[in-house]
Structure formats: structure tokens, C-alpha cells
Structure 1
Amino acid sequence: MPEAGSYGSLLDALRGVTWPARRTIRGPAAGTHRSRQRGISPEFTEYRPYRQGDDPRRLDWKLLARTDRAFLRITNDRATLGTTLMLDASASMAFPVATQAKWTQACRIAIGLAAVANSAGDPVGVMVAGDRGVSQLPPRTRRGVIGEMARLFETIAPAGRASLEEVLSLVRPTQRIVLVSDFLAEEDTLLRAARERITAGADVLAIHVVAREEIDPSRTSIIAQDPERPELKRSLVDETREGYREAFGAWRAELARGWRAAGAAYFEVPADEATDHAVRRIASPSGVASAQERGA
């Protein structure tokens, strides 16, 4: 599992990266995201004639002096956006067993995104769902939150099953919610829970971590075993390998369509992708897609 001191180069690579909200948000506190609140920020939007009861601080006094007409400068205020990162710590996230590449990548993505959000003054928290229940840190803005997350990840080893849909229901719907998982459990209930959060106002992102060995398994004969249901085993040989690859690719494409249809942003991240690159495309306003996400 990742050590708390192993993220330095990642954090250095992400300096200056921003992560704007995908939509305008509600929020009274000053921050970096476009808010639905109208206020007195320096970002000018439009003029409106002054009406009795309006805040005189919004008057454009220079325009009043020139034209003898009272107009308000309407602006978009900026708000903070609470971000909760939800990590799947079920047994399948420990694959491959020798490297635990999926879990390592999930932790690094969470640390990277948390650091980017924290640098903008956004409250950042984490919830990790595994066989021991939920380990969590509530959203905070203080500087030490990234180190606290790293130390929390050190104490967790993926095992058993995780009920992400139950954890998702605990998150405030006004927040940005980032799900980091391999989504190998029953996805229908999770999608339904995510759709409810989105309808209630949440900005949901689904980060699908996939091991290279899952995309392109070894050509040697192996026995594939479900880590969360050990009784399920299947041989993977030359005769079945191509069928597996086609089925796995079709499932990933269907998964992406389902999340996007629900209103979430979806990103597939190979476990061997450079984490800083993955974080940059997740945080990008344009949401740069991988070849798989473009349907290649």
C-alpha cells in the first residue's frame, strides 16, 4: 500500500493545476468556482436598472455621474465547493496481488485530486468503503488534510466487499462527489444512488480504475478467480482469451454510457497511467477522454 511520504513528486507535478466545477454552484463563501449567487465580485456580468431596496454598493457610480441614471453592476460571485472522495477498498481493488496496482493508483488519484481542490481553498474529505465498514475524514480546508488522507490510506488493505451505494447516501448532495472504483460489484444500485445525488444537486465523477492485466491478460493459461466471490472460477486460455477481451471491452463501454446518462462525468484510468496525467484530464474543464472513452 502507498506510504504517506511517497506522494511528493506527484504533488510537485500538480502545482498550478485547477479543478473548476462542471456547473455553477450554490455557496455563500468566497472561493474559485462560479456561483449562482449574484454579488459584488470584480467579474462583471451585466447592468440592471437600480430598484428601490437594491444594495447601493452595486451601483456603478461612474456611470451615474456621466448619465445621471442609476444602474447596478451585476456580477457572479465565487464560491467554495466541498469535495468528497469515495474509494472502493473491496478485495478486487487489490489486483494484481503482486503489485496492488489498482489500489495504489486509486490512492494516488485521490491524493492528487484532493491536493488540487485544497489548493483552491475547497474543503476536501474522503470516505473509504471496505470490509471493515467506512473509514473517513470529513471535508476540511486546513493544509494538513492531504497528509491525514495519506496516513489513512496506509492503514487500509483492500478486502471483502464494499457497499459504495450506502456510503454515497451519506454524502451531502450539494458537494462534488468523486467515486474511485473498479465498479466490479453490482453497478445498478450504485448508479441509482448516484442519480439521486445528482438530481439533488451533486456534481458526481466516476473514476474507473482498470489494471492492464484486466484489459490485456497474459497469454499463458490461467485460472481467473473472483476475489470477492472465491467460488467463481474460470479458465482463461487461448481459445477464450479473445472472447474475454471483447466482453470486458463491451462491459466498460456500457458502464461509461450508464454513468454519463445518469449525469456523471466518467473517466477510465489504467492502473499504469501516470497519475499526474490522469488527474490533469479529470480536472480539465473539457474532460480530455482516453481512447477507450472515445470508443476507439
Structure 2
Amino acid sequence: MPFDPRALIDPAFFSRLESMELRARAIVEGSMHGMHRSPFLGMSVEFATHREYAPGDDLRHLNWLLYARHDRLYVKEYDAETNLNLHLLVDTSASMSCANSGRSKLHYAASLAAAIAYLALKQGDAVGLTLFADRVVSHIAPRAKPNQLDAVLAAIARAETRPATDNDRALHEAAALTGRRGMVVLLGDLFGDLTAIVGGLDHLRFLNHEVVVLQILDPYERDLSVDGHIRFRDLETGDDLTTQAEGVREAYLEAVADWRRKLETECRKRAVDRVELITTEPPDRALLQYLVKRSKTF
């Protein structure tokens, strides 16, 4: 059910983000000067190449040393820095309502999305939001305007889970809305057909986005940390299954581990960062650990 947007904001958590940066590994396209590499040449501090002088070029950027050596005029060109288009894709399918640990996966995803949006907007990037289940249910185009965080928080706060059996259509619809290349952060449990999920990731990578998957799981789902006679309920279909936990635990854990390995392998093949998160882990710690790890790769 919808929740208070104020519950998504932990001032202490946000204050710890002040010293962090969210930088794109890939070259991005943008219209404002910012902190990310751009494919377009402009005036920046980082030299790119030389080209021959043409009438109208700024004389301040002539390379006089090359002129003295070759008796020809060359202009220095630089890599422009740009703003980033950050696309937040949040899964609102019914399985995200799982809250065995006290906090639902959707609330956990919403808190992370709010923090990432704050971080990106703070550094001048444009942030957009897409909520999806069996299809796209809400979309906010990326903007860097001052009230964009309010719009993102309000949309997340209105989010309601709904059954989703068509991951393929939903992810392709979401990908089609992302526009020019930038960074996509996908937040969800990634339950569903692996081929369909991989197809959605392929669509995003085909559009030249850098993709980060924050996979959110309830510890009961991952570890089957219960004993005795239990009843499982499929949150997508409503189907029930009653069984003895000890009798199925070994096979269950093996199947879950195999699924996670396959998902990790497919993400690695596509240069997609996959970060597995558990709802009992404080979201601020999980996000900060990832950002610190990510910063070391630049």
C-alpha cells in the first residue's frame, strides 16, 4: 500500500551521502556541463586531440609549439564533461510486498531510490523514475530541476504492488522510455523468467546505458530461515503450498543458489553491476558500501 514519502528520507543517511559521488563509467550524453565524460568535444580541462585550424576557431586554443615545428596551425580539442541522465526503474510487482523481516522489499527499494535520486540531483544530474510491474505503471522523465526530488518521492509514495507475470513486456516498455544513453539503476527482486529479464537487460545495454541492478531479497526467501510445518504463498498468483521446511530446505537452497549464480553470470556477460541486498541490512550501509567500491574502479 502507499506510504508516507517522509518515511523515505533519513536525514542522517542523506548527510552521509554529501561526500559521495555517483559517476558514470560509460561516456554519457548531456546538455549541461557536469562531472561525467561526454562523447561531444568541448572546452574542458582534459585534452583530447588536435585538428587543423579553420577560420573562426578560437585563437586561444592554437598550439604554437606545433606551428613552430610544422609551420601549420592546429587547434587543441578537449573532452567535454556533461550531466548524467539517471533512470531509476523500480519493480512494483506483488512479490515486492514480501515483508517477513518487517520491511517490505518495495519500501526498501523506495528508500534506496530516494537516496540515489537525492545524490544525483545534488551533483547536477537529471533524474527520472519508472515504476513497473506487468507493464509500466508510472513514468517521470529525467529532469535536473530543483523540485524533481519531490516529484520522484511523491510517485514512489503512491506506488502499489500489483501481480506481474510478464517481465518481458514490462522491462522492454521501461527501456523504451529511457531515451538518450546514461545510467539505469534497476531496483527489484528480479523474480520471473530469467530469459525475459536478460532480454530487458539486453535492451538497455543496446541503448548504450550503463546498467546497475540492485537486487533486493527478503532473508526468508534467500535462506528459508524457518522451521516446522509452513505454508508458502505465491504473492503473484495467490497459490498456496504447505510443506515441512526441513524436508525441502536442501533442495530449495540449491535451487536459489543456482538461480543467483545464473543471474550473476548473465549480468557479468553484459557488464551489468549486480548488487544483492537483503532487507535486514540497513539500506544506507548497503548503498554506501557500493558507492565506495564503485569509486575505486575509476
- Into which bin does the TM-score normalised by the smaller protein fall? 0.7 to 0.9
Deviation at 1:78, TM superposition (A): 0.4
- Within 5 Å, which residues of 2 pair with 1:88-167? 88-96=91-99, 99-130=102-133, 134-161=137-164, 163=167, 164-165=170-171, 166-167=173-174
CA contact (8 A) 1:92 1:227 kept: yes
- Within 5 Å, which residues of 2 pair with 1:64-79? 70-79=73-82
CA contact (8 A) 1:173 1:198 kept: no
Deviation at 1:63, TM superposition (A): 5.1
Deviates more, 1:272-281 or 1:134-143: 272-281
Would the alpha carbon gap of residues 232 and 93 (structure 1) be closer, same or farther in structure 2, given more than 3 Å must change? same
Deviation at 1:175, TM superposition (A): 2.9
CA contact (8 A) 2:175 2:203 kept: no
Would the alpha carbon gap of residues 63 and 225 (structure 1) be closer, same or farther in structure 2, given more than 3 Å must change? same
| Structure 1 position 268 matched with structure 2 position 269 | no
Deviation at 1:206, TM superposition (A): 1.4
| Structure 1 position 231 matched with structure 2 position 227 | no
| Structure 1 position 192 matched with structure 2 position 205 | no
1:293 matched residue in structure 2:
none
Give per-residue Cα distances to partners, 1:40-75, cap 9 Å, x unaligned: 1123345x3643357325624775899887443332
Query: What secondary structure, in the 3-state scheme, does the structure 2 residue paired with 1:41 have?
Result: coil
Q: Which runs of 5+ in 1 are unaligned?
A: 290-296
Give per-residue Cα distances to partners, 1:141-180, cap 9 Å, x unaligned: 1222222222222222323227432322332151322111
Give per-residue Cα distances to partners, 1:212-243, cap 9 Å, x unaligned: 12222233222222110222525242122122
Aligned length: 288
Would the alpha carbon gap of residues 132 and 177 (structure 1) be closer, same or farther in structure 2, given more than 3 Å must change? closer
Would the alpha carbon gap of residues 114 and 155 (structure 1) be closer, same or farther in structure 2, given more than 3 Å must change? same
One-letter amino acid of the structure 2 residue matched with residue 241 of structure 1:
R
The TM-score, its normalising length taken from structure 1, stands at: 0.85
Deviation at 1:94, TM superposition (A): 0.7
Aligned equivalents of 2:44 and 2:81: distance in 1?
Answer: 7
Query: What secondary structure, in the 3-state scheme, does the structure 2 residue paired with 1:37 have?
Result: strand
Residue of 240, 244, 265 corresponding to 2:252: 244
| Structure 1 position 216 matched with structure 2 position 223 | yes
| Structure 1 position 205 matched with structure 2 position 212 | yes
CA contact (8 A) 1:63 1:70 kept: no
Would the alpha carbon gap of residues 21 and 132 (structure 1) be closer, same or farther in structure 2, given more than 3 Å must change? closer
One-letter amino acid of the structure 1 residue matched with residue 224 of structure 2:
P
Would the alpha carbon gap of residues 23 and 167 (structure 1) be closer, same or farther in structure 2, given more than 3 Å must change? closer
Give per-residue Cα distances to partners, 1:56-111, cap 9 Å, x unaligned: 25624775899887443332110111111011111110112573431111001111
Q: Over aligned residues, Cα RMSD in angstroms?
A: 2.8
Aligned equivalents of 1:66 and 1:17: distance in 2?
Answer: 45
Residue of 39, 42, 45 corresponding to 1:39: 42
Aligned equivalents of 2:67 and 2:272: distance in 1?
Answer: 49
- Within 5 Å, which residues of 2 pair with 1:22-61? 22-45=25-48, 48=50, 50-53=52-55, 55-57=57-59, 59-60=61-62
One-letter amino acid of the structure 1 residue matched with residue 192 of structure 2:
A
Deviation at 1:260, TM superposition (A): 2.1
Aligned equivalents of 1:288 and 1:232: distance in 2?
Answer: 46
The TM-score, its normalising length taken from structure 2, stands at: 0.84
Q: Which runs of 5+ in 2 are unaligned?
A: none
Deviation at 1:256, TM superposition (A): 1.3
Deviation at 1:26, TM superposition (A): 3.0
Aligned-residue sequence identity (percent) comes to 23
